[in-house]
Amino acid sequence: MTSPPGCSSYLALFVTFVLIPIVYGLWISLHSWDFMLPDKPFIGLDNYISLMSPDSVNFSPFWQSMQASAIFTVASVPLLLVVPLAVALVMNANFRGRNVVRAIYFAPYVLGVAVVGVVWRFVLDTNVGALNWLLGALGLPDSIAWLSSLPAAWVALVGVTVWWTLGFNAVIFLAGLQDIPKELYEAAKVDGASKWQAFRNVTLPGLRQVTAFVTMITIIASANMFGQSYVMTSGAPGPENKTLQAGLATLQAANSVRYDLLMAAAVIASVPVLLLFVIAQRYVIEGVSRSGVKG
Amino acid sequence: MNATPWYSGTSAALPPLSRRGFLWLGAGAATAYLAGCGGDSVGGGADGEGVGGFSGEDYAGAALTLTYWNGFTGGDGPAMQALVKKFVSEHDNIEIKTNSISWPDFYQQLPAATQAGKGPDVGAMHLDQIATTAARQVIVPLDDLAEALDLAEEDFAPSVWGPGIYNDERYGIPFDVHCLAMYYNKDHFDEPGISEPPTDAASFDEAMTKLQGAGFDTPFWMPNLWPSHLMFLSLLWQFGGEPYGEDGTEATFGDEAGVKALSWMVEQIDKGYSPTNVEADAQYTAFKNGDTSVTWDGIWQINDLQASGLPFGVPSIPTIGDEPAVWANSHQFFLTREAADDEDRSNAAKTYIGWLSEQSADWSAAGMIPARNSAREEPAYQESVQYALNEQTEYLHFLSAVPGLGGVTPETIEVAVNEAMLGVKPPEEALMDAQEDAVQLLEEVLSRYGE
């Protein structure tokens, strides 16, 4: 772009890439819509009713995947805040080889989800995987079905996700830590604060907005978790640990062409995260500017 | 991994040719073609015009490039590439741009790409997807080509011939047949002295016990995902059941035959022949590594196993139920709506499909069984490993080709088999639940496609 984008060009972008798709999505969800079929009859709220009525075939796959996404979010978000924060504190300290440690923690994040999923599928396989072999060699139970039984599959999915993405959150925390003025720590030291007290009263308050931002993006990422479940567990055992996105993906797999149902499901599914964002947006926007991350 | 980008075919960048040049090219191609196929002409040749403008003569127009999509990403990939190369070397005016993507992605992308004008001109797909794709107007009828090729119903098994027709028009040109088979490790079988591969429930059970006695603790790993539903379908047919009613309006896989089939599969785990929780592809990896003695899988794995050097045999699956039966599918060629709009592309594409369909015996190199009865007499097939399965061809069962049905199986049968194999639900319950879902899904499908 040659001229600085003014208000009108933002509006144009917003309308083209945000507003129209949303309205179009809503429109699709109210019609029997297949882009290859000439007729797209209006069906009103049929799709929404079908997703909401317990005796419909679409009810349990959809709500099961909603539930799976909720379980995954609740289990993974606290870990994805605490562990990266701890890592960031370590990386913020002065020691030899600090850059190497930073790189090591960040390394998994550069891998694509397909690579991560396939590699961990080999490691976690019940019968031929490395993890169970290792557990066996240590004299521990070696027949845990990490990918095909509950709750072991949740442990596997959360564990892999933490391993994979903690570097990203840690880097943002690190940026936040480096933003806290040194004088505050010096003042705390003069006042005779212990390390823990300095952490409680200087570090945590200083990270407030960054934490709000990280929490928000982690919740969104977890609620949208797809690849790990899709690649690693392929929906076993049964549909119970298919997260929302994986559940939706099977809804549109191969030839089941129910785009309108998918749209209706997507509309319902985006409500919780959207509400959360509306409530928390003030902190998130402040956090973005504080941590210097351009969202 | 064949990461050829999506490519919308345009004429190859060749210098313009004179009229004489064209004729020369066409003649050259025709001679090369005749030489390559031992004088076996593609079509009626002399009997003039075919239906829809294709006469059966090789395309002789300006040089162009056809985009060709398929899902041959496994052991069958190299064999297809070899065929394409051979075609191009025999046809100077037709270049082929191949794009191989995994089948699930293939079926998802094909309609969208065609709609956007970025789809292929020609491709191969499964028999049970033809009707759906035809109903969605992605592909066009090929009756003229079938006529020009002298495709005759009596040269094909009815189950391969019939489903290529939708609303009285032919959309698919049959290429091959592929089915489930039983792979066994010959070294393992030699140890306890099992001389013949098992053929029924009793001899199968006996073989498993003997193998266990010889130190192979888990001789038959039972997968909970792919291809477990193909094993289930085969057994369902063996016990006299049918997954769906003839016209695709009923779901019947949960009846007595289905319960018997799924119970037998679960029993293999209960008896200790298989470990529990055999995850995605683990049974195949284990077989390749010699950790399990028997596995049921598609014949498209033959090439991969041969390359691994494992001493294996691949007879039919045993008859566990009352009569021999095995799941099968067929690859068929199609022409897209996009190519049909342009007469040159359409004729070139038909030349290509016609040529490929005549190579079905050579396609045996991909581990497949030729679709034509006559091609099954040719040495290329009779000398192949899968010829051991030849007797099985009369027991092949195909899923019915009703539009939209392809989307129902993954959400119902596959879920039930998965749940039962993992012990989450007993077979009866898993099947009943899935059958109830299937009834509703079939209604939805009918309201969408039924006129």
Q: How many structural domains comprise chain A? A: 1
pLDDT at A5: 58
Please tell me which of the candidates A56, A127, A252 has its beta carbon nearest to residue B278: A127
A88 burial type by CB count under 10 A (0-12 exposed, 13-18 middle, 19+ buried): buried
Contact A206, A180 (CB under 8 A): yes
CATH number for the domain spanning B374: value is: 3.40.190.10
Yes or no, beta carbons of A35 and B138 under 8 Å apart: no
Contact A220, A76 (CB under 8 A): no
Asked if the structure places residue B10 within a domain, the reply is no
Task: Say what the ipTM of the complex is.
Answer: 0.70
Residues B349 and B297 in one domain: no
Helical axes A59-92 vs A208-223, angle rounded to 10°: 150
Q: How many structural domains comprise chain B? A: 2
Q: DSSP letter at B313? A: E
Substitution target from A57, A118, A121, A122 for chain B, most B beta carbons within 10 A: A57
Rounded to the nearest angstrom, the minimum Cα separation between A249 and chain B is 11
Residues B364 and B417 in one domain: no
Substitution target from A37, A143, A255, A261 for chain B, most B beta carbons within 10 A: A255
Asked if the structure places residue A1 within a domain, the reply is no
Asked if the structure places residue B276 within a domain, the reply is yes
Identify the domain containing residue A204 by its residue range: 67-247+269-294
Tens digit of each residue's pLDDT, chain B (451 residues): 333 333 222 233 333 333 434 444 444 444 333 333 333 333 333 333 334 567 778 888 899 999 999 999 877 888 899 999 999 999 999 999 999 998 878 988 898 899 888 999 999 999 989 988 998 889 999 999 988 888 888 888 777 888 888 889 999 999 999 999 999 999 999 999 999 999 999 999 999 999 999 999 999 999 998 899 999 999 999 999 999 987 777 999 999 999 999 999 999 999 999 999 898 788 999 999 999 999 999 998 898 899 899 999 999 999 999 999 999 999 999 999 989 988 999 999 999 999 998 888 889 888 899 988 888 889 989 999 899 888 888 899 998 888 888 888 888 999 999 999 999 999 999 999 999 989 988 888 888 776 5
> Which residue, of B365, B384, B403, is where some domain finishes?
B384
Asked if the structure places residue A170 within a domain, the reply is yes
CA distances from A49 to A244, B64, B169, B382 (A): 18, 51, 38, 57
Yes or no, beta carbons of B418 and A149 under 8 Å apart: no
Residues B24 and B73 in one domain: yes
Q: Does A237 touch chain B (CB under 8 A)?
A: yes
Residues B247 and B300 in one domain: yes
Q: Give the per-residue SS3 of chain A.
A: CCCCCCHHHHHHHHHHHHHHHHHHHHHHHCECCCCCCCCCCECCCHHHHHHHCCCCCCHHHHHHHHHHHHHHHHHHHHHHHHHHHHHHHHHHCCCCCHHHHHHHHHHHHHCCHHHHHHHHHHHHCCCCCHHHHHHHHCCCCCCCCCCCCCCHHHHHHHHHHHHHHHHHHHHHHHHHHHHCCHHHHHHHHHCCCCHHHHHHHHHHHHCHHHHHHHHHHHHHHHHCCCHHHHHHHCCCCCCCCCCHHHHHHHHCCCCCCCHHHHHHHHHHHHHHHHHHHHHHHHHHHHHHHHHCCCC
pLDDT at B169: 92
Identify the domain containing residue B147 by its residue range: 18-175+330-384
Please tell me which of the candidates A128, A252, A254 has its beta carbon nearest to residue B282: A128
Residues B198 and B296 in one domain: yes
Residues of chain A contacting B410 with CB distance shorter than 8 Å: 250, 253-254, 256
Yes or no, beta carbons of B279 and A236 under 8 Å apart: yes
Rounded to the nearest angstrom, the minimum Cα separation between B242 and chain A is 21
Mean pLDDT value across chain A: 85
* Other CB atoms within 10 Å distance of the CB of residue A127: 23
Q: Least CA distance to B445: which residue of chain A?
A: A256
Residues of chain B contacting A121 with CB distance shorter than 8 Å: 279-280
Q: Which token pair is A155?
A: 């442990």
Give yes or no for residue A229 having a pLDDT over 90: no
Residues B85 and B187 in one domain: no
Residues B87 and B185 in one domain: no
Overall pTM surpassing 0.95 (yes/no): no
Enumerate residues 82 to 141 of chain A having a beta carbon within 8 A of any beta carbon in chain B. 121, 125-128
Asked if the structure places residue B407 within a domain, the reply is no
CATH number for the domain spanning A125: value is: 1.10.3720.10
- For B222-260, write each residue's pLDDT tens digit: 999 889 999 999 999 999 999 998 777 799 999 999 999
Residues B105 and B27 in one domain: yes
Residues B30 and B159 in one domain: yes
Q: Least CA distance to B407: which residue of chain A?
A: A256
Residues of chain A contacting B446 with CB distance shorter than 8 Å: none
Residues B46 and B187 in one domain: no
pLDDT at B288: 94
Residues B355 and B321 in one domain: no
Residues B214 and B263 in one domain: yes
Asked if the structure places residue A150 within a domain, the reply is yes
Rounded to the nearest angstrom, the minimum Cα separation between A67 and chain B is 18
Q: Which token pair is A193?
A: 């604060």
Residues of chain B contacting A149 with CB distance shorter than 8 Å: 277, 422
pLDDT at B47: 35
- Beta strand extents in B84-232 (DSSP E only): 94-100, 122-126, 165-166, 169-170, 173-185
Asked if the structure places residue A124 within a domain, the reply is yes
